[in-house]
Each structure stands twice: as structure tokens, then as C-alpha cells.
Amino acid sequence: MTDIGPADLEDAARRAVEAATSAGASDAEAWSEGSRSREVRVHAGEVESLTEATGRGVGIRAWIGSRTGYAYGTDLTASGLAELAEAAAGAARVADEDENSAAPEPSGAPPEIEGLRDPAVRRTETAEVIDLAKRIERVALDRDERVTAVEEVVYVDEDGDAAIATSRGVSGSFGSSVAYAFLQAMATQDAEVQTGLGFAVGRSPKALDAEEIGAEAGDEAASMLGATKPKSRTCPVVLSERVTASFAGFIGGALCADDVQRGRSPFADRLGAEVSSAAYVLADDGIDPGGLATAPFDGEGTPRERTSLIADGKLLAYLHDSYTARRGDARSTGNAARASYRSPPSVSPSNLVIEAGELSLQQLLEKAGDGVYITEVAGLHSGVNPVTGRYSVGASGRGISGGELAEPLREFTIAGDLLGTLAAVDAVGSEIRWVPFGGSVKTAPMLVGEMAIGGS
Amino acid sequence: MTLVEEALAGRVLERALSRGGDFAELFCEERQGFSLSIDESRIERPQSGTERGAGIRVIEGEVTRFAHVDGLAEDDLMRAADGLASALDGDGAEPLALKTPNSPILQEIEVDPAGVPAERKAEILRELDERARSAGSEVAQASASYNEGRRQVAIFNSEGLAASDDRTRVRLGVQVVARQNGTVETGFETLGEHRGFELLDGDPARIADQAASQALKLLGADAAPAGEMTVVVGGGFGGVLFHEMTGHGLEADAVQKGASVYAGKLGERVAQPLLNAYDDGVMPHEWGTGAIDDEGTPCQRTAVIQEGKLTSYLYDRLRARRDGVGSTGNGRRASFRDLPIPRMTNTYIEPGDADPEAMIGEVEKGFYAVSFGGGQVEPATGDFVFGVSEGYLIEGGKVTKPCRGATLIGNCLQALERIDAVGTDFEMKTGFCGKGGQTAPVGTGQGHVRIKGMTVGGTAV
């Protein structure tokens, strides 16, 4: 298939900005994307589905004075862009004036970041990635005879470019690639079924290790067989890196300046205050080459950077885009994110990075003594209130008894509030890993001194 | 409306099957949307979008090959069809001639929302904002959003099917934050239908009163209890409980892989005889309603539980063929960028014969879950969890203190079996269901339902 390249995308963005100013916008910004992606689903040793796709589109943010509107579409022809530009300018006329709303200004040269795109994505034949997915499944099944099936192995890769142009002279483009695979294994014993998840992410299929991914899912499913419900109590818990990633995602979200400025964050008015134990050190890092959200610039062309958020127990910064920076008399931290051209930029964490501690998982368990090791949480979208910081979510994991992993546990809840939980973090583990849950998070297991468990 | 001429569709199908395959399908779509919000009493984020694209699939044996492209030009479609055909090296198959489609029976749209001036939509948001803020001095923040969307789809396949649908949906949502003595609470309410702008006739701002009242009531709330107790679930969005607990486990993809606790249970008793439940894609104007599903199968009403017995799974074409049955019209996709999978439409528990007040009156100590933020289930194990957004203690048969931060957790088969009363009342609510990375509009509904013995997860241990 023919592809749309970075030069075409830069050109489309430029033409979109011109179309918007012709449509009456006093300022405009356009973001264009083109991509090519592939997905393979494997079940029981066979390919279930194979998807190949190309995509392209553009989104225009138009300003009429201090009013702003957005429009997006898939038609990059002159008439398509003219129609979009009219829609964006028309939308701006509906908005109320907002003194802090303005087109972002150019703000310095973006950093050079190596390795965002691995050409191996395009070079790897589909037959090879099918084989990778099949190997992942086989590894999981061979791990334990009680692992009886894998619901499916999903492999996805994508390679694309994005470009930006604004009427104030911001312009640029970059390319990136991603590949990831995950599976859910099922272990069976009598009538009981338990599941286990395995996953990995990288810049190309070469970065994915079938052994590790399959083993993680198979082992977890088998280890959960015979799980029971724990007694309701308050006790020490060790959170797996999957769980600490989800928590980091909520904390990162609550540190975004728009919700803070609108009084909808448990961290509002806490800058400089003590918000956690000293063990919890968190940064937003948009330039770590290992992070999937890494890019030379953010969704409005501001260079990405590293921002220290929590250190020495204190809240050091909020995350900003150009709007919240203007409103909060701060500078943009390069955190204007775009899910795609289909949405206007809004403040969001890039990669959240938790500083590793010194204790291995085994040592964290020993330090906990007796408690619960939480490997999985469920119901996060309804169980966490981002305004109040309170949470109550479903959980599963293992008991901790005498510093060792003990019986599997399921069907219980953990509950508390984010600030209380942060204050109770006793130690962060040393085994750091990139986890694609809660955004893009580099994290480790953690020991929390006290958490409420709701069981029987 | 013609997204793609039939002659072109025929050529695309022919090309897709030119090197083999048992079945080919062309799914064309145009999506248009507009949204607007109010926050801090300021109208903001006006946004409009138009996308055109197509998804083409070729099935050969058990393998599905799929390609999707942005754009509906002949070039785009042929390129995608060629890509699919190039992966095969067999003899070409000839698609059947496309039959002229029957006109779909569409939901009546009296007022096309796209034709309503944006200022009118802004005005409604201002009403919501004012109503929320006037509900009490404790209301600290209010925000609301308006969304309209239109999806026009045209589906053609190599068995001669040519079908189309045109779906317009309008939805309002409002969130209220209340604050008192350092305590912060939130309330949320929505109004949405597969209907035109006439949905907002009358008093749409009533949902602002409801959201504000929820936040204000919670200001006086205690921490939710933790432990096992009898739970009475309220009507309307309480139906999310059935959606998660049972609906997902009935979707045939999970069933066929043994990844559902309902696999192998067809015809068996899974609930008390008082329980009847349906998936109904033809309920007039409901959020999950359509004329056809996203494979061209007419939407229908499927009885899934009759007098406590499991009577049907929910099928798309592929999984129906595997089981040797007909599709139940549940092959849905989030957009042309996705493959169809079995999804619920509007799922509900039929009203029963219990008086809602009496259902609560019989409970000595329990929990009343009026509204939920959402839920999640793992169909393979049957473990589920729901976040309660408005809940109360039941003490001595009376609804007493509001509780904050409660979660309901349990296992599907056990909880379904423990439903011991279904109320005479009934209400449907809108929801967005996520599965396999795809989001679908679904309706959920029920009256009051009582479950004996469910785990409530709160902080008051």
C-alpha cells in the first residue's frame, strides 16, 4: 500500500492552517497524522484474524480572538481541508471568550531523540509476527499442565508520522513506531478457571520476548488456582508493578494543571506541601527513549521535557500545556497530549517514571511480614474518584505469610484515598519495568504499610 | 443516502475474492459528530468531526483477513481489497449479485441535531450549569457536555447482502462537585437516546438537579461498610449489574473459547424462576438500538434468560456459523477500523412482581446501591466489580445513611443465583461498553433487584 509521508503531512498541516485563516480564524494550528498498522490474533495455534490498515487525518484548532474551536477529518484534499477549516472556525464562534486561550508560540528547538522509530517494524514480514504470536501461546500452554487454553494472543504494531503547523510559526514532524503483544491464559482445575495476563511493549517485534510474555501469563493463571476470599481487615500490602502503574496513572492525571486549576484534584493548593512518604519519587519524563509517549514535542509543538513531580515527600510541580501555563502564570511543561488527530490537545502525563528503591520483591514481602500481595486490580474506571482521590477497586493476588508468598486470593476489594496511600508507601522495589497501564509508566512493586481489604 | 455505489461495492468484493476466500464483506461508514461543554460557567471545547472510511474482510476457513482505510474513494477501496487478495494464492471466487436492499426501518429523527444552531446547544448547557449551581451553596463546581453523533453505514457482502443504517444519537452529561468543611463529593447524571434533538424538549436540565442532589446527599455520607450483606440495586443504571454479570458471559466469542462461566450452560437453570432477561436491539429510541447490526443482520429481541433458564447466547455471523445457528444481530463494531464482535445492544431484566419498597422493608441489615459509576467483569472466571456512585445503608428495613466509596464485588453465577426479588418498576439508561479495545453504545435497564449475599468493599473494616 502507498503511504503518506512526513513531507505530505507537513504540507497538509500548513495548508490546513492557511485554510483556517482564510475561513476567518485569527490564529490556527493543525496536527496531521499518517500511519500504517498491523494486528494479529492467534488462538489454539491458528490465526484468527489478520488486520492491515492505513490511516490518515488532520485536526484543526482555530481561534477567533480568544474563542477557540476544533474540527477533524480524514479528507486531506483542498476541498476537504476548506470544509474542516470552516467547521473549526464555526465551532470557535460558539465558544465563550477565554482570556487564557491563544495559539501556542514557538518555544525553542525540540530535543533530538534517538530510536523512536525502529525500521524493523516495516521490515518484519507478517509471517514472522504470526510465528511470534504462536510461540507466545505455546510458551504459556507449556508452562504448567493446568494451563489449558489461551483466550487469544494479540500482537499489534504501528509505524507512523505526525506533523504540526501553526499560524505563529510552530512547525515540525516526527516518526515513531510501536509493537506490543499480550495474552490471557486460562488455568483449569476441576470446575475452577483462573486467568493470567502477560504483555510486553517495544519499538519493534524484535523487542518482544515470547518466553517472558507467555511465561508471565501461564504462571499467573496457574498460581491463582484454588483462590479464596480473604478476611476483611487492614494490613500491609505489596502492590505489583501493574498495580503501581495504575495508581501512578491516577496520580499523574490528578497532577494535570487543568483539573487542579478548576479545583477538581486532591492535589489542588498543595504545591510545596507534603503529599507522600519520602520513598515515593515521581517524575513525568517525555524524553526517556524507552517510553512510548516519548516525542520531540507535544501536541502543540512545545518541546517535551522531564518534570520532577514528587520528591522528598513534597509536591514539586503540576503538568502544563500552553493554556494552563498562561492561566497559572507558569511555563508549559510540554504536556499537551493528543490521543490522535481526532481530539484537541489537553494536559496529560507523558511517561510517568517512579524512582526505583533498593529492595527486591522478595525483600518487600519479607518487610511486609503478613499481609496481601496485590497482582491485579479491576474496575478502575468506576472505582476511583479523580476529584476526591478516593478509591475502592476489585483486587486479586496472594497472601503474604511470614514474609513469603502464600495462598492465592481473589474477589476482594482494596480501598482508601490516594494521599493516604502515598503517605503509607514504606518502600519502592528495585525491579523496574515499563507498564502500558495507566498510560506509559516505568515502575516497580511497592510496599504500602496499611490498606483496607474488603473480603469476607 | 449513498456512501458507495452498488456497482463499485460489487467490484470491490470481486477483487477481494479474486484469489480465494469463502466470504467477503465491505463495510462503509461516514461518521459525523459535534460536541460542546460548559465548565466554570464558560462554553468551551466546541468540536466537530467527519470521518469516512471502509473496512473490508475476507474469511477463508477460520481465518479472517481485514483491512481498513480512511476514505471511500475507489482508489482507497481497491487498494485495500488488493492487499487482502495478495495474501491468498487460490482460485478466485465469484460473489453473488447484490440484492437491492429493503429500506431499513429507522428510528424516527424529528429534528436533525446537525441542523440545530450551536447557540441553542450552548443555551441548554447554560441551563444545566445554572440549575446545578442553584441547587445549594455547597455546589463548588459544575460541568456539562453535549454530544451528537450520526453514523451512516452501508454493508455489502459476497452472499448478495446490501444493507444500510443511519443512526443518530444525542446525549447530555453533567457533573457536580460539592464541598463542605473540607469534604468533597461528586454527582453525575446523563440523558441520551437514539433520537434527534427533540430528546432535549421539555426540561433536560432536570439531570443537573439529579446530579447536584447526589453530590449534596453524599456530603453527609459515612464510609461504606465492608463485608457480605444483602444488596438492593436500584433501577435504570443498576442494569449495568446484569450487563457485566451475565451479558458479557453470553457473548459467543467468549463462550466458544471456554472463556465464559456460562459456556455449556444453555438450557440450564442459572437463576431463580422469577428472572427473565433480554438483549433487545429494537427497543424504540434506546441507546443501543439500530435497524441492523454492523454486519447487516436485522437487530432483534433475544430472550437470554427465561424463568431462570439460560435460553440463548449472543451471536455475530462468524460465531453463529461455528455453532450452526443464525446471528442474533449482535455483530457490532466501534467503527470501520474494527472487526465485528458479539456485543450487547440493550440488555435488561424484565420487571417482576415485587414492590420496591417492600423489597427494602424485608432487609434487616444491607446496602442500597442506587447508582453506579460502572463495572468490569472477567467472563472466564466470572469475577466482577462495580463502583457505586450513590449508595445507602439499609437498617431495620429502612434506607438510612448515605455511604461513600463503595464497591460491589462477586462472582457471576453465584450472584445471579442469589437474585431473590425483582421489582415492578423499570427504567433504561445509557452506557458505553468497552471490549477488546472497542467502545459501543449500550442500553442497560431493570427495576429494583435484590441480591442475597454480596460483598461490599468499603473502607469501614
Domains of chain B: 113-153+164-219 (3.30.2290.10), 227-457 (no CATH)
Contact A91 B47 (CB under 8 A): yes
In this predicted model, which residue has the larger pLDDT, A263 or B279? B279
**Whole-angstrom distance, CA of residue A411 vs CA of residue A393:** 10
What gap in Å lies between CA A389 and CA A417, rounded to an integer? 5
Return d(Cα A416, Cα B224) in angstroms, integer.
Answer: 11
Cell of A435: 507498564
Q: Dihedral (C-alpha) A155, A241, A138, A195: value to the nearest 10 degrees?
A: -100
Question: Is some CB atom of chain A closer than 8 A to the CB atom of B127?
Answer: no
- Kindly identify which residue of chain B lies nearest to residue A72, measuring between CA atoms: B49
Q: For residues A241-257, give the mean pLDDT.
A: 96
Element (H, E) at A365: helix A361-368
Average pLDDT across chain B, whole number: 94
Q: Are B373 and B429 in contact (CB under 8 A)?
A: no
Cell matching residue B231: 444488596
Please write the tens of the pLDDT for every residue from B230-275.
999 999 888 999 999 999 999 999 999 999 999 999 999 999 999 9
H helix or E strand, kind and range, residue A87? helix A78-94
Backbone angles phi, psi at A326, to 5 degrees: -60, -45
* Averaged confidence pLDDT in chain A: 95
Q: Which residue of A has its CA nearest to B31?
A: A73
DSSP, collapsed to helix, strand or coil, labels residue B261 as: coil
Residue B27 · residue B294 · CB < 8 Å: yes
Q: How many alpha carbons fall within 13 Å on the CB side of residue A368?
A: 38
In this prediction, residue B223 carries a pLDDT of: 85
pLDDT for B405 = 75
- Answer for the pair A428, A357: CB distance below 8 angstroms, yes or no: yes
In this model, does residue B458 exceed pLDDT 80? Answer: no
B11 at interface of A, judged by CB pairs closer than 8 A: no
Rounded Cα distance, A26 and B402, in Å: 51
Rg for chain A (alpha carbons), in Å? 24
CB proximity under 8 Å: A 95-124 to B:
95-96, 98
DSSP string, A172-229: EEEEEEEEEEEEEEEEEETTEEEEEEEEEEESSGGG--HHHHHHHHHHHHHHTTT-BP
pLDDT per position as a tens digit, B66-107: 999 998 999 989 999 998 998 888 888 888 988 877 788 899
Distance from CA of B122 to the nearest CA of A (A): 8
Pair A66, A102: CB distance under 8 Å: yes
**Taking CB atoms and an 8 Å limit, are B339 and A49 in contact across chains?**
yes
How far off is chain B from A357, nearest CA to CA, in Å?
29
Please name the member of A46, A73, A195 whose beta carbon is closest to the beta carbon of B50: A73
DSSP 3-state of B256: helix
Q: Region B315-323: what's the mean pLDDT?
A: 96
Q: Is B19 on the interface with A (CB under 8 A)?
A: no
Task: Give the pLDDT confidence of B43-67 residue by residue, as tens digits.
Answer: 999 999 999 999 999 999 989 999 9
Could you tell me the residue ranges of all domains in chain A? 6-221, 227-456
For B437-448, the pLDDT digits (tens) are 899 999 999 999
Nearest-5° angle of CA A45, CA A48, CA A50?
115
Q: How far apart are CA B314 and CA B251, in angstroms?
A: 5
Q: DSSP per residue over B163-215, as a string?
A: EEEEEEEEEEEEEEEEEETTEEEEEEEEEEESS-GGGGSS-TTHHHHHHHHHH
Which B-chain residues 220-239 have CB contacts (< 8 A) with chain A? 224, 226-228
Angle, CA of B43, A12 and A81, to the nearest 5°: 55
pLDDT in tens, B101-140: 778 889 999 999 999 999 999 999 999 999 999 999 999 9
pLDDT at B6: 93
**Mean predicted confidence (pLDDT) in A264-272:** 94
pLDDT, tens digit, 9 for 90 and up, residues B362-389: 999 999 999 888 888 888 999 888 888 8
What are the chain A neighbours of B79 within 8 Å (beta carbons)?
1-2
DSSP per-residue codes, A288-312: -TT-TT--SB-TTSPBP-EEEEEET
Q: What pLDDT sits at residue B459?
A: 66
In the structure, what pLDDT confidence band is assigned to residue A418 with cuts at 50, 70 and 90? very high
The answer to whether residues B236 and B428 touch, using CB atoms and an 8 Å cutoff, is yes
| Among chain B residues, CA nearest to A74 | B51
Q: What pLDDT is stored for residue A2 in this prediction?
A: 45
Lowest-confidence segment of A103-117, A164-178, A308-322, B108-122 by average pLDDT: A103-117
Q: How many CA atoms lie within 13 A of A159 on its CB side?
A: 17
Q: Which residues contact A395 (CB under 8 A, 6 or more apart)?
A: A243, A374, A376, A377, A378, A412, A413, A414, A453
DSSP one-letter string for B266-298: TTSB-S-TT--EEEETTSTT-TT--SB-TTSPB
Are B224 and B459 in contact by the 8 Å Cβ rule? The answer is yes
Rounded to a whole number, what is the distance in Å from the CA of A158 to chain B's nearest CA?
14
Q: Distance of alpha carbon B66 from its chain centroid, rounded? A: 25
Kind plus residue range of the DSSP H or E element containing B124: helix B118-133
To the nearest whole percent, how much of chain A has pLDDT over 70?
Answer: 99
Check if B118 contacts A (Cβ < 8 Å): yes
Grid cell listed for A79: 476541498
Q: Are A31 and A338 within 8 A, CB to CB?
A: yes
Residues of B in contact with A91 (CB under 8 A): 34, 46-48, 118
Return d(Cα A198, Cα A218) in angstroms, integer.
8
Q: Each residue of A221-256: b (16+ CB within 10 Å) or e?
A: bbbbbebebbebeebbbbbbbbbbbbbbbbbbbbbb
Listing DSSP states for B6-38 in one string gives HHHHHHHHHHHTBTB-SEEEEEEEEEEEEEEEE
CA distances from B117 to A8, B33, B34, B121, B122 (A): 35, 14, 11, 7, 9
Q: pLDDT tens-digit profile of A311-363? A: 999 999 999 999 999 999 999 999 999 989 999 999 999 999 999 999 999 99
- 8 Å CB contact of A71 and B411: no
Is residue A389's pLDDT more than 50?
Answer: yes
Q: Which chain B residue is nearest to residue A455, measuring alpha carbons? A: B227
- Going by C-alpha positions, the residue among A412, A414, A418 that lies closest to residue A390 is A418
Give the A:B interface size as CB pairs under 8 Å: 247
**B413, three cell numbers:** 453465577
User: How far apart are the CA of A109 and the nearest CA of chain B, in angstroms?
Assistant: 29
Q: What is the pLDDT of residues A30-54, one digit of tens each?
A: 999 999 999 999 999 999 999 999 9
Q: What is the pLDDT of residue B461?
A: 52
Task: Give the confidence band of A1 by pLDDT, cuts at 50, 70, 90.
Answer: very low
Please tell me if residue A273 touches chain B, with a CB cutoff of 8 Å.
no
Q: Return the higher-pLDDT residue of A444 and B453.
A: A444
Distance, in Å, from the CA atom of A43 to the CA atom of A65, rounded to the nearest integer, reads 55
- In B266-325, the residues whose Cβ lies within 8 Å of chain A are none
How much is the average pLDDT of A373-387? 87
Single-letter residue type at A153: V
CA distances A414 to A323, A423, B283, Å, are 36, 16, 38
Topology given in CATH for the domain delimited by A6-221 = PmbA/TldD fold (3.30.2290)
Secondary structure class of B340 (helix, strand, coil): coil
Q: If pLDDT is split at 50, 70 and 90, which confidence band does A56 have?
A: very high
- Chain B positions in Cβ-Cβ contact with residue A415 (cut-off 8 Å): 224, 226, 405, 407, 457-459
